[in-house]
Chain A
């Protein structure tokens, strides 16, 4: 299924402490986490993410997105904020696993992220990895997920995958 949404653009090395600060990890209710998502970011402070995100908006980061702590609360917070897909040059590996496991599609497009600006409108199809930038008219292609990882994504996450396998 393709998603159409406005871009929240972030830089390189967005760490999970910025995505959801540890002071909020005393809850793992997705709604609580979404309310504080990206709260410590120094980007978009004039219109902070948590209070301005609209269901369907797309998050785009630079390289090493999601580095740091293994807290699954980070992709959960992004997903619960209404973001259906995250695009980055590349992802830190635990964040990448966590995204797949909780059913939040993550697309890696390398240097092509530099062509995407804050506020651009994208049409993204996670199943094909095709990203259309409706603002600039460009198209980018993400690497497809390897092997059975694609099946985990298709099942909507690891728990469903394991239950289906059983």
Chain B
């Protein structure tokens, strides 16, 4: 019986010829990741085991959530991570000024590669499926154990095939694809399952689109989201990944739990209403919703192309007087590239605040917390109750085009409405 991409990576890393859904296996890990929130408890659990780190080149510690340190306790967490990284000579530790958002920098720096088996103590670790890796989020205890053993247990998931067809229209981005999918299947539509993206429409998607889509597989309950290794992926990893890797492709007779088809040519810009990412609505049908804040950034939409889309909309326009617009490049490289491309000039001219990379407002940590009654359009990934601050504030999820247009008009809007 043939295997799909997730099954192939899991089988290879379990040292098995093949695996089937439901099977419990133990896999060798190629990379384990934690951040400033999840690493400290993982380090505490790790210490209880009493073994050295399994491989200091296969651990990534990325303090991105509360950094630059938002308060004294957060500074303590960051110090715990820093001290551990130094003591154990962790190769992939990144200090403020060099750090970026974990799921932006790991693909960008070629730390993750096709065919890898990766866990991270962050739910959006599923992002790396965009580069044809199996990667999934875990908690701190799993991560602590993995730092000691280099292994993790998995239940082989059933897989949903998402068949992409048609041509992607202008002003449609990866965020519209994934929010449309989650709107269709719900926040538990892929619970315990894998999402495998396939079909001729994959070639329509840029690497940024794919990273956004794989990133939000978890918002459908998915264990992982994975894309094939094609020319676009090959182009992306070239020059970033300087070691051997083995991409996987699905067998022609691979098994799927079901197939969902999305016609890219039928997509329109969408927004997900509070308080679940499944509350997807076409922007054209929502009427007037006034907003107080716009966030452009995060592990979902903090890459160069995301800022490029925002800059395209902002060019020559001002942020609405009633709106605070905060733009957060996902990495120092994205920041620098955005400066060189003139985007930062456009943003500052428009009246946006441009910040150093941080997860900050996405999880209501710092850098853009809302009070009661406020509404934000955000390119982040979650709009749960209280996610960006007060329990009576609201988050509407959208892509960078819609976020930028909304910042200019002071209400949720598409770029065509600007001017």
Residues on A facing B (Cβ under 8 Å): 13, 15, 17-18, 21-23, 25-28, 40-42, 63-64, 67-73, 75-76, 90, 92-94, 97-98, 101-102, 146-149, 157-159, 162-163, 166
Contact of B137 among A21, A70, A101 (CB under 8 A): A70
A97 touches B385 (CB 8 A): no
Confirm or deny: B351 has a beta carbon within 8 angstroms of a beta carbon on chain A.
no
For residue A88, give the distance in angstroms from its CB to the closest CB of chain B: 11
Q: Given A21-B386, A98-B141, A158-B145: A26 and B73 within 8 A (CB)?
A: yes
Q: Given A64-B191, A92-B221: A26 and B48 within 8 A (CB)?
A: no
Chain B residues with CB below 8 A from A27, complex form: 73
A97 touches B188 (CB 8 A): no
For residue A111, give the distance in angstroms from its CB to the closest CB of chain B: 14
Q: Given A70-B139, A71-B37, A72-B140: A17 and B365 within 8 A (CB)?
A: no
B139 touches A162 (CB 8 A): no
Measured CB to CB, the nearest residue on chain A to B44 is: A28
B386 touches A71 (CB 8 A): no
Confirm or deny: B192 has a beta carbon within 8 angstroms of a beta carbon on chain A.
yes
B188 touches A40 (CB 8 A): no
B24 touches A146 (CB 8 A): yes
Confirm or deny: B168 has a beta carbon within 8 angstroms of a beta carbon on chain A.
no
Tell me which of A97, A148, A163 has the highest count of chain B C-beta atoms within 10 A of its own C-beta. A97
Confirm or deny: B40 has a beta carbon within 8 angstroms of a beta carbon on chain A.
yes
Residues on B facing A (Cβ under 8 Å): 22, 24, 37-38, 40-41, 44-45, 48-50, 65-66, 70-71, 73-74, 76-77, 120-123, 125, 137-142, 144-145, 148-149, 153, 155, 187-188, 191-192, 218, 221, 223, 276, 363-365, 382, 384-387, 391
For residue B217, give the distance in angstroms from its CB to the closest CB of chain A: 11
A68 touches B382 (CB 8 A): yes
Q: Given A26-B77, A98-B139: A21 and B364 within 8 A (CB)?
A: yes
A26 touches B187 (CB 8 A): no
Contact of A13 among B48, B71, B276 (CB under 8 A): B276
Chain A residues with CB below 8 A from B218, complex form: 68, 94
Chain B residues with CB below 8 A from A76, complex form: 41
Give Cα A147 to B148, complex, Å: 23
For residue B177, give the distance in angstroms from its CB to the closest CB of chain A: 21
A-B contacts besides A17-B385, A22-B364, 10 pairs, CB < 8 Å: A26-B71, A63-B188, A69-B363, A73-B37, A98-B138, A98-B141, A101-B142, A102-B141, A146-B22, A163-B48
Contact of A159 among B48, B364, B387 (CB under 8 A): B48
B137 touches A64 (CB 8 A): no
Enumerate 29 A-B pairs (CB-CB under 8 Å) in ascending A order: A18-B385, A25-B365, A26-B66, A26-B71, A26-B76, A28-B41, A28-B140, A40-B391, A64-B187, A68-B218, A69-B122, A69-B363, A70-B125, A72-B140, A72-B141, A75-B139, A94-B137, A94-B139, A97-B139, A101-B141, A102-B139, A148-B153, A149-B24, A157-B141, A158-B141, A158-B142, A159-B45, A159-B141, A162-B149
